[in-house]
Each structure stands twice: as C-alpha cells, then as structure tokens.
Chains A and B, each alone.
Chain A
C-alpha cells in the first residue's frame, strides 16, 4: 500500500486460485489477509505479497512477521 492509498482496494485474490495455493516452504495452506493484502502462513509467520491479484510465492520475497503483529487471524 504505502504511497497509493487506493491500491488497498485493489488488493484481492481469486478464490479459485487461492484454494490451490500453499506456502512454498512448508506446503501448508495460506490465509489471505484483506487488510494488508498479503497471503499469510500462520505457522511459520511469513507473509507473501499480492500485487494486482498475482501472488509472489518465492521464499526470498516473503516477509517475516513480527511477534505481536497487526495481522492476527480474525
């Protein structure tokens, strides 16, 4: 998001695609966080960004989440 606030609204992912995807490292299912627009693996604490509906599922592109993070499962 950052500089362009309207990008937040564009953060989405196709449901048909999401049900096929898993985390590339642990092969566990991912959860889509619509608030931050990221795909999150809760067990490893890693978030993968989604840009224009295209998820970036490369381990080096992942972001390690902090301990007390904003994106807890709701």
Chain B
C-alpha cells in the first residue's frame, strides 16, 4: 500500500512539474512572439492577382489618389526625390503629372506583378527618372534621410506594426520632408460587415471576421505624433459607391487587392453563406436597382522635423 501511494505522489509531483515548465515555456513564448494580425504573404498574392484583374481605371482609387496628390499643390517647396509606396501605385504614377516638382520617383510594392504592370504604364507628363523596387512597407529599404516625399495611397492599413512602419518612414525622410498617406478608416464597408454577420449567424450559427479591422480616425493623428512627425493633419472623406449587387462589390475589392487578409481568417466560405450575404446586403442596404457601399478614407499629411 505504501509503495502505491509513493508512486502516485511521485507521478503527481512529476506531472505538476511538467505542467509548470510547460506554463513557463508558454509564457516565455507569448512574451517573445509578435502577433501578426495580417498575413503579409497572402496580401502579396492578392496584390499579384489584383495586378492581373485591374482595369484601365478605377473610379474610387482615381478619386482618392487625386484628392491626396492635390495637397502637393498647396506646398511652395519642391520634392526632388519621392517614394510611391504600396496601394494604388499605378494611380499615383498616372496622376502625379509633374506636381510637387518630383524629379525622381521610386515606386515600391510588395508584388512583382504590380511593379511589372506599373513599369509598362507611361503617363503623359511623366517624371524624368523612374525607379522600381519590390519591397515591404514593414521593412523599408531606404537610407536614412534620403527621401523628400513619401506617398502611400491606400496601402498602409495592411501593415501589422503601424508605429514601426511610420517610424521607418520618418527615418527615411530628410528633415522637412513630407509624408502623405491615405488609408481606409473604420467606417469602411460597414454594410458588408453587417450583412456578413447576419448571414453567418443564420447559416452557420457563429461569426468570424470577414472584414478586416481598420484604423480609427482619432488614432491616425496620435500615431503620427507618436512616431515623431510634426504638424499632422488628418481628415476623412466618405465615398459612397454604387454597385448592381454585392457580387460586383466583391469583384471590385478583388481588383483593388483589398480582400480579407487577416492571418486567423476562416479560409473557406460556403456558397450558401455567400449567397445569403448577398441577399441580406440587398435586403438591408439596397434600393431596388442596386446597393451602396461606404468607403471612409483618412488622408493624413505630416512633416518630418
């Protein structure tokens, strides 16, 4: 009897020590591991696909880029070296039209196909010098104090670590350099979020994140100040797009490369759930001959000190 108790207690204490070491290991692991919200490799693939799918012009991207680049006309100074980073690279290259006195325009994107596509594009008033780099916004490959202007049109909301990315941008800018960025705000695709939730609850009995989390407007200004930029201005525009049905909305999102890329997304979508989403969208936000979708764009502009 005594021997059995001894073995039991021995086994118990061993299991307890194992559990302790496991917990300690897990704590250590959690402390060192950085959680990635977005799957950047998947985003890269999506942007490859977007390069194949995109049409000659995209009304939403054109308007957003035009409004962003319009700010360059308010500046008296010129920006000889400019970086066009992520997002709507084609539109920025097309619509720059010699604004801001840009002599050297470097286009950077994660996807090689997008870069190849923008190399083919020769706009009318093109900049004298064009260079291309395949690079990641999270690991900016530019020398400290080498750029006068960074333009990022609808690309920076897919970055996992936004403070670090902004810090790298500030380091790469010359003193008195300018940072111009447009990103999608939290109100974007509010209707799609609601329709997805309703349809998933009805068909699958639970919900998962189908639309990615986005930056709120008040955070954008704080982030810029925290990264060391001066004179940050943030303003929001709301664009309402009209589509015949929710399927066209998804097609448009695909051609912009703005599909869901959360790293913990549910990778499959059942056909009946998709159709239920479209039906719910049309029932709640349709008006007989189509649906409308809201896009909230935060345009930020800051100066490096």
Contacts and interface: CB of A to CB of B under 8 A. Distances in A.
Interface in B113-146: 115, 119, 129, 131-136, 139-144, 146
B136 A24 contact: yes
B131 A22 contact: no
Contacts of B132: 53-54
A19 B129 CA distance: 14
Interface stretch (B104-112, B151-159, B220-228, B261-269): B104-112
B65 interface: no
Contacts, number: 61
Main SS of chain B's interface residues? Answer: strand
A18 to B, nearest CB: 10
Contacts of B275: none
A60 B141 contact: no
A22 B143 contact: yes
Contact of B142 (A22, A53, A60): A22
A25 interface: yes
Interface string A43-65: 00000000101111111110000
Contacts of A25: 139
Interface string A14-53: 1011011111110101000000000000000000000101
B81 interface: yes
Contacts of A56: 112, 134
B207 interface: no
A55 B129 contact: no
Main SS of chain A's interface residues? Answer: mixed
B143 A59 contact: no
Nearest to B140: A24
Contact of A57 (B41, B133, B146, B147): B133
For this complex, into which size category does the number of interface residues on chain A fall? Answer: 20 to 34
A2 to B, nearest CB: 17
A68 B41 CA distance: 31
A31 to B, nearest CB: 14
B141 A24 contact: yes
Contact of A23 (B81, B136, B141, B147): B141
Given A17-B133, A55-B134, A57-B135, 8 more contacts: A19-B143, A24-B136, A27-B143, A51-B112, A54-B132, A54-B133, A58-B135, A59-B139
Interface of B: 41, 81, 104, 106, 110, 112, 115, 119, 129, 131-136, 139-144, 146-147, 171
30 contacts: A14-B131, A16-B104, A16-B129, A17-B131, A17-B133, A19-B143, A20-B106, A21-B142, A22-B141, A22-B142, A22-B143, A24-B135, A24-B141, A29-B143, A53-B132, A54-B112, A54-B119, A55-B134, A55-B141, A56-B112, A56-B134, A57-B133, A57-B134, A57-B139, A57-B141, A58-B134, A58-B135, A58-B136, A60-B41, A61-B134
